[in-house]
């Protein structure tokens, strides 16, 4: 990537930096929706798109790794009784075979 700056007097300055782009990983939590009141068995369902094959999708509820999926439908089921009552953060992280990651989360 190159950036250039030209002063009003006509002086030119440039800077270059090497960056790595892609393959991208995009994660979207489809179910449950943010701020939902949940009880009993709950499905967490995610959509993952990636320029390279998906290596792993990790589901987190209340921070620690709760479950991982390596292929197929990116969905896990948990029981609300497995976690303390109250607001919990749901996070889904995906990693592709090129080592790129993406995530989505909400409370």
Question: What pLDDT, in 10s, does the model give residues 87-104?
Answer: 888 899 999 999 899 999
Query: Is 20 a residue whose pLDDT tops 70?
Result: no
Global pTM reads 0.70
Q: Is residue 49 part of a domain?
A: yes
Q: Tell me the pLDDT tens digit for each residue of 43-77.
A: 889 999 998 999 999 988 876 666 777 777 898 88
CATH assignment of the domain containing 75 = 2.60.40.10
Q: Is residue 96 part of a domain?
A: yes
* Full domain range(s) for residue 66: 24-106
How far, in Å, CA of 71 to CA of 86, rounded? Answer: 31
Q: Is residue 11 part of a domain?
A: no
Count structural domains, the chain.
Answer: 1
| CB atoms closer than 10 angstroms to residue 25 | 23
3-state secondary structure of 105: strand
How far, in Å, CA of 101 to CA of 56, rounded? Answer: 10
How far, in Å, CA of 106 to CA of 47, rounded? Answer: 15
Q: Is residue 8 part of a domain?
A: no
* pLDDT class of 37 with cuts at 50, 70, 90: confident
Q: Is residue 19 part of a domain?
A: no
């Amino acid at each position: 990537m190159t950036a250039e700056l030209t002063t009003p007097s006509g002086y030119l300055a440039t800077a270059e930096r090497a960056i790595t782009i892609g393959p991208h990983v995009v994660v979207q939590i489809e179910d449950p929706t943010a701020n939902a009141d949940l009880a009993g068995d709950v499905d967490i369902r995610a959509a993952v798109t990636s320029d390279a094959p998906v290596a792993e999708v990790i589901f987190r509820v209340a921070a620690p790794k709760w479950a991982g999926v390596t292929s197929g439908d990116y969905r896990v089921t948990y029981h609300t009784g497995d976690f303390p009552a109250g607001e919990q953060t749901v996070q889904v992280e995906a990693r592709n075979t090129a080592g790129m990651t993406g995530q989505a989360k909400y409370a």
